[in-house]
Chain A
């Protein structure tokens, strides 16, 4: 309350507004890019588009010339492509995602089902990675060159060279096949989220661990940390009061870079673990050449990327007062 009543609040809000506007622009760019690619995809796929869409809507047995012509007229498929593209964008900006050509359900409805599992998976993965990575990183950075430091460097190098889909495979072999403690795939209440989340989390932790370690080495060599120790705080107190916030700033800032890994990883890991989320749906839409589904899923994944980026921006400003005006 006190913060918002200070005179400093106005530049803060202005800066937040600029950041928000940039992210909204990014969201718009995502929509235009995905929409344009999918528009040309529909035009380049073999066969007559009107018949294909009619088949998707009414079922393959119900496609008549009349139905196809009705679709052609309604969607403006007979018009030159610039006009059709403009209309395609217009529909997209009104969140009209169309109808899946495989299931004949509205794409928005399908995605509403898949969004939950994907968000659960990515948030759990992010939380796990932030728990594993920086913790080990701080321990490693407290004694640079010590055994924790060398061990985490080796493990993190191996993990970074291991693609997420192979890491997932290794985890399945260890935890499901050899030990039999966790389910290998699927979506139920018995811990099936753990392996895909751990796969993504370990990949991210491999990097954030090193970022935290380097930050911790920096903190350890800083004058304020030396002063905190000199004035009689023990390591734990000095860390809690002066160290952790300074370690957190680069870790959270780096999270912005890692979001690329997360969103790309979600697509692969969901597919491998048959996790019923948006990434899994995207890969299956590509199998089925279901362009409305490809567009919808890619769009939502892209928007999720933008949203997470905005959240990371906000977290950075919250942690590091130097990034506030």
Chain B
């Protein structure tokens, strides 16, 4: 839920990238790989249109043709689940990327140039952080209720700030370090310094942020769909499916269980990837 789980204080973790993956991290990777395969190849392998209704067969129990049965409108539950997983992961991926790339570049630029540019960017970042991320997404979603693009824009807008702040803080420290100073004095250009000296140090921190951002994006989409201000039915979306299938949990618990499980396992996989769960 928390989109701003990390502050710029959290980035100092020199060993994060080099530690060998533990049991928790490996199970997280396996989980995520399985869900990603389901989302990428599922819709194509299943090959059933998630929108086709067979009203006379509503709530049909699982069978070989429909491994998760049919939902309240007689649509294939597995096909809908695969399309919903694909939609969630796709939204999370593109919003994380479109937050991370400009956020990182602006962070580098601010730390490099300093001066008024840095102050203006920092003020904008403060303004965005003044509001909890989900509120910002909600406000943007209100522009065009039910649309995909407001969700995407809102999530990206809420997320870029973290990359900006972390990259700016880390770059400022790195710029003062002897090896970067030596490289600058030797006359290497900014591109070389960024590639050889800054990015290797920044990447592990960026991956940590991306993991949290990915979880936040998947979560925001499902949460808004669940309370009815995100994507609208008949879209196959995890949160929308949950709220649609909730009334049938007594007759067909597997129907609502499936999207809940996919969401839970996605978030669990992302959580297990982080080294701190290995602590105990």
Contact = CB atoms under 8 A, between A and B. Distances in A.
A273 to B, nearest CB: 11
Given A41-B142, A161-B268, A267 B127 contact: no
Of A44, A271, A283, A286, which is in contact with the most chain B CB atoms at under 10 Å from its CB? A286
- The majority secondary structure among interface residues of chain B is helix
Nearest to B239: A165
Contacts of B132: 259-260, 263-264, 301-302, 305
Given A33-B128, A163-B1, A282-B138, 17 more contacts: A26-B130, A30-B131, A149-B280, A157-B271, A160-B271, A161-B271, A162-B267, A165-B223, A173-B249, A260-B4, A263-B135, A264-B134, A286-B142, A289-B142, A294-B142, A301-B132, A302-B135
B78 to A, nearest CB: 21
B279 A214 contact: yes
Interface of A: 25-27, 29-30, 32-34, 37-38, 40-41, 44, 144-145, 149-150, 153, 157-158, 160-166, 169, 173, 203, 214, 257-261, 263-265, 267-268, 271-272, 282-283, 286-287, 289, 294, 298, 301-302, 305-306
18 contacts: A40-B143, A41-B142, A149-B280, A160-B271, A161-B264, A161-B267, A163-B267, A164-B223, A165-B223, A166-B242, A260-B2, A263-B134, A264-B132, A267-B134, A282-B138, A283-B228, A289-B145, A298-B138
Contacts of A163: 1, 219, 222-223, 263, 267
Interface size range of chain B in the complex: 35 or more
Closest 4 CB pairs of A and B: A161-B268, A264-B134, A161-B267, A29-B130
B259 to A, nearest CB: 10
A268 B268 contact: no
Nearest to A268: B223
Given A157-B268, A298-B138, A286 B229 contact: yes
B131 A44 contact: no
Contacts, number: 132
Contacts of A272: 226-227
A41 B154 CA distance: 14
Interface in B190-248: 219, 222-223, 226-229, 242, 246
A32 B4 contact: no
Contacts of A258: 2
B226 to A, nearest CB: 5
B134 A33 contact: no
A173 B253 CA distance: 12
B139 interface: yes
Interface in B251-265: 260, 263-264
Contacts of B277: 153, 157
Nearest to A152: B280
Contact of A261 (B2, B7, B143): B2
